[in-house]
């Protein structure tokens, strides 16, 4: 059997169709809501817009009335020989109740307050779903984080992530033998291979033990580790018993000095409602993560690593 014949055989076998397609559609149709959610949103939006319009119109009307009254007062003051009369104008002394109500700016403001208050309350209720977007975490910038000053490694040859490489949490967890908490002591690019040789001080270990207190890792990750910064790195042992980054195509966990950890969104197990987005400066067109970074408590990462360790 040729490869094509095998594929044909598979295709034939995968030709199962829904036994009763029409009945299934009827089932789906019966469960569709009468009113489509998008329409509801549109309805809400138009209601919100109408309320906003009404408020603007009321404000304009008020301005016109107040303006007209002010102008009238100004005219009166110009033509009046008795300034006291102007004073009594606002107190509505000697004028009818109707006139007082009509003329009193305070009364109009009272009405406006009531109207505005009601509208505000109503509007608050309507706008709640949209307002929820403002509850979303405001992004921080990397420069806002409690990390040591930058100690960038000079590159004479630019590094690029290997073509077609994707980060996969499951794969990394599967291939990783240990996660090490390290502080980068030094780093330099090898002129011949372009890879960077990092020297690190080991702070902590999860999974397999790294025998030494210091570690040397050679990596061509374009997401450079900064000298003096603290990272948690997933490592695996190579054939020649050296330690290497399990995944070099994405940024590593970076610890901050205030007990947080910066991670990229591919670590979906760490993504919670508490995760705060962090914008980093792009390292260039091949940087796929500068706007996919998040901050969480180090305790979250520690719990995650302990669980991983337990399942080893």
Partner 1 sequence: MTDAEFEAAVGKVTAGDKTGLRDLYDAYADTIYRLFLGKVHNHQDAEDLTSDFFLKLWECAAGYRPGRGHRCWMMTIARNMAIDYLRKAGRTVPVEDAEAVSPAALTETQTAADTVTEQMQTEGILSVLPEDEQEIVRMHIAAELTFREIAAILKRPLGTISWKYRNAIGKLQKLAEEGSLL
* Of 15 and 134, CB closest to partner 1: 15
Residue 104 β-bridge partners: none
The DSSP annotation for the chain comes to --HHHHHHHHHHHT----TTHHHHHHHHHHHS-SS-HHHHHHHHHHHHHHHHHHHHHHHHHHHHHHHHHHHHHHHHHHH-S-HHHHHHHHHTTTS-HHHHHHH-HHHHHHHHHHHHHHHHHHHHHHHHHHHHHHHSPPPEEGGGS--PPP-PPP-SS---PPTT----HHHHHHH-SEEEEEEEEEEEE-TTT-PEEEEEEEEEEEESPPSSSEEEEEE--SSPPPTT-EEEEEEEE-TTS-EEES--SSPPEEE-TTSEEEEETT-GGG--TT-EEEE----STT---TTSEEEEEHHHHHHHHHHHHHT-
45 is a contact residue toward partner 1 (CB under 8 A) = no
138 is a contact residue toward partner 1 (CB under 8 A) = no
* Of 234 and 266, CB closest to partner 1: 266
Count of residues in contact with partner 1, rule CB under 8 A: 35
What is the pattern of x (binds partner 1, CB under 8 A) and - over residues 171-190? x-------------------
149 is a contact residue toward partner 1 (CB under 8 A) = no
User: What's the min distance (Å) between Cβ of 169 and partner 1?
Assistant: 8
132 is a contact residue toward partner 1 (CB under 8 A) = no
d(CA 218, CA 244): 7
- Which range in 49-57, 96-104, 125-133, 162-170 contacts partner 1 by CB under 8 A? 162-170
CB burial of 69-98 (b: ≥16 within 10 Å; e: otherwise) equals beeeeeeeeeeeeeeeeeeebeebeeeeee
* Of 94 and 162, CB closest to partner 1: 162
14 is a contact residue toward partner 1 (CB under 8 A) = yes
150 is a contact residue toward partner 1 (CB under 8 A) = no
User: What's the min distance (Å) between Cβ of 19 and partner 1?
Assistant: 7
What is the pattern of x (binds partner 1, CB under 8 A) and - over residues 240-279? --------------------------x-------------
- Which range in 11-19, 77-85, 119-127, 146-154 contacts partner 1 by CB under 8 A? 11-19
| The only residue of 165, 175, 237, 257 in contact with partner 1, by rule CB under 8 A | 165
286 is a contact residue toward partner 1 (CB under 8 A) = no
Centroid of chain to Cα 184: 29
7 is a contact residue toward partner 1 (CB under 8 A) = yes
- Which range in 31-39, 83-91, 132-140, 220-228 contacts partner 1 by CB under 8 A? 31-39
Token couple for 18 = 């829904």
User: What's the min distance (Å) between Cβ of 122 and partner 1?
Assistant: 25
* Of 39 and 143, CB closest to partner 1: 39
Q: Which residues form the interface with partner 1 (CB under 8 A)?
A: 1-3, 5-7, 9-11, 13-14, 16-19, 21, 24-25, 27-29, 31-32, 35-39, 164-168, 171, 266
């Amino acid at each position: 059997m040729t490869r094509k014949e095998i594929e044909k055989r598979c295709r034939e076998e995968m030709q199962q169709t829904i036994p009763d397609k029409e009945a299934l559609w009827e089932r789906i149709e019966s469960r569709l809501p009468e009113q489509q959610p998008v329409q509801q949103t549109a309805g809400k939006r138009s209601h919100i817009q109408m309320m906003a319009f009404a408020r603007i119109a009321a404000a304009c009307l008020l301005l016109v009335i107040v303006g007209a009254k002010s102008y009238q007062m100004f005219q009166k003051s110009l033509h009046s020989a008795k300034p006291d009369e102007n004073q009594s104008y606002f107190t509505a002394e000697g004028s009818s109740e109707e006139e007082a109500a009509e003329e009193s700016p305070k009364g109009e403001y009272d009405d406006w307050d009531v109207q505005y208050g009601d509208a505000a309350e109503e509007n608050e209720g309507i706008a709640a779903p949209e307002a929820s977007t403002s509850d979303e975490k405001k992004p921080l910038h990397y420069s806002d984080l409690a990390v040591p000053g930058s100690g960038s490694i000079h590159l004479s040859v630019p590094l690029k992530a290997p073509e077609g490489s994707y980060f996969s949490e499951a794969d990394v967890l599967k291939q990783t033998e240990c996660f090490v908490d390290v502080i980068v002591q030094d780093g330099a690019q090898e002129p011949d291979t372009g890879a960077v040789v990092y020297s690190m001080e080991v702070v902590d270990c999860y999974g397999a033990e790294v025998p030494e207190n210091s570690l040397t890792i050679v990596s061509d990750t374009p997401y450079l580790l900064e000298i003096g910064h603290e990272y948690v790195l997933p490592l695996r042992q190579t054939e020649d018993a050296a330690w290497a980054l399990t995944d070099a195509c994405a940024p590593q966990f970076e610890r901050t000095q205030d007990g947080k950890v910066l991670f990229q969104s591919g670590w979906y197990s760490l993504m919670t409602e508490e995760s705060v987005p962090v914008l980093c400066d792009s390292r260039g067109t091949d940087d796929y993560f500068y706007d996919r970074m998040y901050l969480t408590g180090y305790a979250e990462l520690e719990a995650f690593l302990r669980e991983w360790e337990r399942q080893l």
